[in-house]
Structure 1
Amino acid sequence: MDIDTRHFGKITIKDEDIIDFPEGIPGFEGTKKFVLLDDGDKSSPFRWLQGVDNPELALVLIDPRYFKPNYVVDVNDADVEILDIKDTDKVLVYSIVVIPEDVSKMTANLKAPVLINTENRTGKQVVTENNDYKVRHYIMEELKLIGGQV
């Protein structure tokens, strides 16, 4: 299937790569189908959650464990059931990144990670029950400390 995206131009995706977000993502509830993209640089910690049924939408993602190795997702049983998680090793964990004009103020949402069950290609943005995590966690200094690409 070909889609004409806002940020990546025309791309071809396979049906088996489409991830279903039955509830959409808060703020983008109308977009239910996404695909994970990278820019071809495997060393980059960033990925994009590209809308399939809304090609104008692409969210920047990062695995929070890249800069916060002890990050733990603690979600409720209802979210586990919605995602039909049987094996936590088959679940990808991402934080949505906001990149403002002043890149030094880049943030990741640690409070509400995006989980993707790779077994059934289902995703959901969940709210972790850990109150230590913030919606706007500044990540630029942490990325610099570990030598991450920005």
Structure 2
Amino acid sequence: MKILTKYHGEIEVQPQDVLTFDHGIPGFLEEKQFTLLPLPETAFHILQSMKTPELGFVVASPFTFFKDYDFTLDTTTVEQLGSPSEEEVQVLSILTIKELLHESTANLQAPIIINLATNKAKQVILNNTEYKPKHTIFAQPEHAGQKG
């Protein structure tokens, strides 16, 4: 099927590439189907709505930037995702890309969990955690904060 996208124009999406969020994404509860589109030569993807062309989130694996990122999913969430094995799970974080790249952030408090076997997906809000919605993903430039 063909869809219009925010960053890639009109593209063809195969049915097996459609991710289903049964309950939508927080703030976008009516948006239940998305696809992942790679951004060439980067570690980033666009999580593109299948319904709304202008709705696309820049996402990446949080482990690319935060090697020690770790959390536990509650039983209800695991069941909603179809009880995938650890190998069948992909974790993504929504990024906020800033004009000054070193100011870009990742939302580690609300990861997107994808069951790769079924393409069921869910954005999970982690409670009781030190993770926040905005973690800087790139090191600050050495001259940041210094007057020159």
Give the TM-score category using the shorter length: 0.7 to 0.9
Q: Deviation at 1:130?
A: 5.3
Q: CA deviation at 1:129?
A: 4.3
Q: 1:77-113 CA distances to partner (integer Å, 9 max, x unpaired)?
A: 1111111123111110011001234433211001110
SS for the counterpart of 2:51 is coil
- Measure how far apart 1:57 and its partner are: 0.7
The aligned residue for residue 100 of structure 1 is 98
Where structure 2 has 5 or more consecutive residues not aligned to the other structure, the ranges are 142-148
Q: State the distance in 1 between where 2:71 and 2:135 align.
A: 15
TM-score by length of 2: 0.88
Answer with 1 or 2: which has the greater Rg: 2
Name the structure 2 match of 1:27. Answer: 27
Show the counterpart of 2:10: 10
- For residues 1-150 of structure 1, the aligned pairs below 5 Å read 1-41=1-41, 44-129=42-127, 131-141=129-139
Residue 73 of structure 1 deviates from its aligned partner by 2.7
Equivalent residue pairs, number:
141
Bigger fraction of residues in helix: 1
Instruction: State the one-letter code of the partner of 2:68.
Output: N
Normalized against structure 1, the TM-score is what? 0.87
SS at match of 2:87: helix
> Superposition RMSD on alpha carbons, in Å?
1.6
Change over 3 Å in CA distance of 1:39–1:100 after alignment to 2: closer
Runs of 4+ aligned structure 1 residues displaced above 6 Å come to none
Alignment partners' CA distance in 1, 2:4 and 2:24? 20
